Structure 1
Amino acid sequence: MLINTQGIVLRETKFNDLDKILTILTKKNGKVQSIAKGSRRPKSRLMPSTNVFCYSDLILYKGRNFYHMNQGDIINSFYSLRNDLEKLAYASYIVELVDFGMPELEQNDKVFNLLLKTLLVLSHMEKDYLKLVYAFEIKYISFIGYRPQLDSCVNCGTNIEEFLGFSVLSGGVLCKNCINGDKSVRNISNNIQQKLKVLLYIKLDCLEEISLTVEEEKSIGDILHSYIIAHIDKRIFNSLKVLKAIK
């Protein structure tokens, strides 16, 4: 059965001297594993569309164990992401997060469009990459079913004016009566709560409308990273190791 779809390559793995195994987020079929036969040959017609980040029109054939890539026509290679080590590290983290957070064969248009938009915006950015990463993280974790509750206490539902804690395990802010006894709590101010809400709802190409201090970046980064690793089955991101090494 032939499938025509758009797809973004999340991961590429050498299969043998000639072939690659690709992890692709497709628009129609969600995340799939595909073999690209002969794609490691220098003159292979498939080779350009099998690189990580590549966004292409694809024709896939469903085999017994894998999809097989029959054709790939590049729409955007996002080649510029490879020319800047910091951008490359952030882009690698973004696709690594999507890879490990998305189940196979589960269509999710919101995640597909979010990933595509994030790579596009990142490819044109010259600074403030962290704002984009944080906006991506909170939108992404929401789109896969773990949207944090930011308006009222996640435990009792009380509307609170001053937010004292964010429960990583419960998934939202806590009031003063519910904060005790939760070992996953991260300190949070009303200001950070508001910034998280903005990052959740803001359009990615409007990020210049929000400013973050170094302290705010650290607080938001700690909350989001802790929240993400608590809800997906992955604690170590190789791309983050690279990012730390180049900074």
Structure 2
Amino acid sequence: MYVETEGIILKQIKIVGGRRMLVIFTKRFGKISAGTSLKEKSKNKATLALRPFVYGKYRINKTGKHYHVNGAEVISSNYQIGEDVDKFLSASYILEFTEKLLPEDAPDPKLFRLLVEFLEMLEERKKKFETLVVAYQVKALANSGSFPRLDACVRCNEKEDVKYFSVPEGGVVCERCKQLSRANEILLYTMDFGIVEVLRYLLEQPLSSFSRLALDDKILLEIKKILKDYIAYHLDVDDLKSEEFMN
């Protein structure tokens, strides 16, 4: 069966015979692995659509659970991402994060649209790219149903005096529950600098709100640490290769 779908290349792997295996986040099928015989060094329109960060349209031969890309065309090249090292690293990190987050063959049109929007905004942004990165991560977690609880203490439902964030329990903890704990808890953060309010803002506002907004460096660093530990603990997504270069 021949089908056509929009998509974004998440990863490509070279295999024998000059062929490649592509991991594509498609609008129609979700994340798929597809082979292709399109030549890497060719300058035709189909090959251009297989480059990193391109939002494209792909013609795919689907046989059962197997996919093969026979043709492609560019919708948006996002070429400026590749011309700035920090943009490149930020985009690479988000593509790797998204690839780890997605199951195979499970359409997710909301996350697909979010990723398209992220790449478009990153291309236009001039600096402070990491604010956009954490905003995307927060929204991707919420979309997957894995976002932490921020409205009340995860232990007692108290809405006042929530001063801590427990990674293992997946949300905020109040002062009373913290004091009642008899052990030195791991992965428990003190919520300084209005972190909870910032996380709520990142969650509630559309991604477009962050096209020019930049978080304070101290707040950004704290949110990055919390998200990294939370994602590793609850989603088993850790040690992303692109993250090493970003740091």
Cα offset, 1:34, TM superposition: 0.6
SS of residue paired to 2:39 = coil
Letter in structure 2 aligned against 1:124 = E
Partner Cα distance (2:217, 2:44) in 1: 46
SS of 1:178's equivalent in the other structure is: helix
1:136-163 C-alpha deviation (Å, 9 max, x unpaired)? 1111111112021111112222212x32
Residue in 1 that maps onto 2:196: 193
Alignment partner, residue 120 of structure 1 = 120
Q: Distance in 1 between matches of 2:76 and 2:82?
A: 13
Q: Distance in 2 between matches of 1:190 and 1:153?
A: 18
Confirm or deny that 1:242 pairs with 2:245.
yes
Per-residue deviation, 1:212: 2.5
Normalising by the residue count of structure 2, what TM-score does the alignment of the two structures yield?
0.91
Aligned partner of residue 217 in structure 1, secondary structure: helix
* 1:152 counterpart letter in structure 2: A
Classify the secondary structure of the residue corresponding to 1:82: helix
1:38 and 1:202 map into 2 onto residues whose CA distance is 41
1:28 aligns with 2:31: no
Q: CA deviation at 1:227?
A: 1.0
CA distance in 2, matches of 1:44, 1:208: 33
Show structure 2 runs of 5+ residues with no match: none
1:1-247 paired onto structure 2 within 5 Å? 1-43=1-43, 46-63=46-63, 66-160=66-160, 162-179=161-178, 180=181, 181=183, 182-189=185-192, 191-207=194-210, 211-244=214-247
Q: Is the Cα contact below 8 Å between 2:193 and 2:219 reproduced in 1? A: no
- State how far apart, in whole Å, the 2-side matches of 1:43 and 1:197 are: 45
Matched AA of 1:173:
V
Evaluate the alpha carbon distance shift between residue 77 and residue 170 of structure 1 in structure 2; reply closer, same or farther with a 3 A threshold: same
Pick closer, same or farther for the CA change 1:63–1:44 going to 2, 3 Å: farther
| Counterpart secondary structure, 1:50 | coil
Shift of the 208–83 alpha-carbon distance from structure 1 to 2, 3 Å rule, reads: closer
CA distance in 1, matches of 2:26, 2:46: 17
Q: Is the 8 A contact 2:38 2:70 kept in 1?
A: no
> Which stretch shows the higher mean deviation, 99-108 or 214-223?
214-223
Percent sequence identity over aligned pairs: 29
Rounded Cα–Cα distance in structure 2 between residues aligned with 1:125 and 1:78: 12
How big is each residue's C-alpha offset from its partner over 1:147-204, in whole Å with a ceiling of 9 and x where there is no partner? 21111112222212x3211111221111123333442311113711101101112222
Number of residue pairs the alignment of both structures matches: 243
Distance in 1, Cα, partners of 2:2 & 2:157? 49
